[in-house]
Amino acid sequence: MPRRLLILGSTGSIGTQALEIVETSGEFELVGLSAERSWETLVAQAQRFGVPRIALADADAGARAAEAWTGGDVLAGAQGLVELVVSSGADLVLNALVGSAGLGPTVATLGEGIDLALANKESLVVGGELVTALAEATGAALIPVDSEHTALHQLMAGLPIGAVERLVITASGGPFRGRSRAELADVTVDEALAHPTWAMGGKITIDSATLMNKGLEVMEAHHLFGTPYAAIGVVVHPQSIVHGVVDLVDGASLAHMGHPDMKIPISYALHHPDLEPLASRRLRLEEVGALTFEPVDTDAFPCLRLALEAAVAGGTAPCILNAANEIAVHAFLAGRLPFLGIAAVIERTLETVEPESVRAFESLYEADRAARAAAADLVGAEVAE
């Protein structure tokens, strides 16, 4: 019997690749799709796959989709995304939404006891212990959709308790690897979007260029695997062949390797605990020749340092950091903030908005609102200077 699958963020990079996997596997029944505002693409996907219900986070886009498509139900807004999850009857939800907007659907999915394939790392960055506790309480599976976390998840499967000493997440270094802080002052949006290894959406690509992405991934690994921050490392690996390393207590290390291909972690999460064949490029080490590794330059890329400091501080600090980063990155993409201004806005937001303990999900929403307002003011101040 086909597994009933709901894909949130189906028009993005992860979502479209997931649809390609679904189309060739024949093991899934698509029960819903969503997007932020790309309603024309979403409607075309719904027609192609015979989906009965779609949702758009943007209300205006939802209204336009409802006028253009009469083949099923159209939901809109943040509540529409949650309603899509709750009413879908899905066995598995792939959350490929970008940013903190993915938290609500993550909570709805796990709250309903539905298995979650999570590509929205911000759900764990912002929600942290509340999200993992919810999964544990309802018994819903929480499977990462990320090359690094899929690597660690697969490496750790079957290891005895107490076997792991340290986790290592690799970073390509992005388009500006090797540049000094001074050399980053005048980089352009186009240069920042020219990632040397991965093809991703704009926000995630900029996070990779600033190395904020690695800070978020450290937080994600901490919550997924219950690993202390002191036992999670980041290393620059420009070839992007090694995706994760698990150091064991006996001195041995396990490495997960493969050519960069997001279909591998997507397929892993969709089919877990099974492993399905993929027509991906096979790794031949003799063809690769050499693999290199470098320490991170946190002077040139302070976003990683800021993320790790917020992670250790805990409470709402990661939420504040994430909200400020989203505002700053969007301002950079819009040409309203220089590249180095991203880290500056984040740091000053963390100084402006006082972190608090997390009492409930509402605490996170309040911190997110406050941080966005403060970051927006700081962006304006940066532009005015």
197 is in an annotated binding site: no
267 is in an annotated binding site: no
174 is in an annotated binding site: no
13 is in an annotated binding site: yes
120 is in an annotated binding site: yes
Closest CA relative to residue 345, chosen from 380, 369, 318:
380
121 is in an annotated binding site: yes
34 is in an annotated binding site: no
Distance CA 245, CA 233 (A): 9
148 is in an annotated binding site: yes
With residues binned 3-state (H G I as helix, E B as strand, rest as coil), the percentages for the chain, rounded to 5, are 50, 15, 30
201 is in an annotated binding site: yes
Tokens of 232: 């999670």
Tell me the angle at which helices 103-111 and 361-384 cross, rounded to the nearest 10 degrees.
Answer: 170
12 is in an annotated binding site: yes
153 is in an annotated binding site: no
Give every CB contact of residue 153 below 8 A, 6+ residues apart in sequence: 143, 144, 224, 225, 268
Torsion angle in degrees (nearest 10) through CA of 132, 137, 140, 145: 0
Residue position matching structure tokens 């307002």: 373
**Which DSSP letter does residue 294 get?**
B
48 is in an annotated binding site: no
330 is in an annotated binding site: no
Give every CB contact of residue 127 below 8 A, 6+ residues apart in sequence: 103, 106, 107, 361, 364
14 is in an annotated binding site: yes
25 is in an annotated binding site: no
Torsion angle in degrees (nearest 10) through CA of 241, 246, 247, 250: -120
Q: List residues forming the annotated binding site for Mn(2+).
A: 146, 148, 217
Q: List residues forming the annotated binding site for NADPH.
A: 11-14, 37, 120, 122, 201
Q: List residues forming the annotated binding site for 1-deoxy-D-xylulose 5-phosphate.
A: 121, 147-148, 172, 195, 208, 213-214, 217
Q: List residues forming the annotated binding site.
A: 11-14, 37, 120-122, 146-148, 172, 195, 201, 208, 213-214, 217
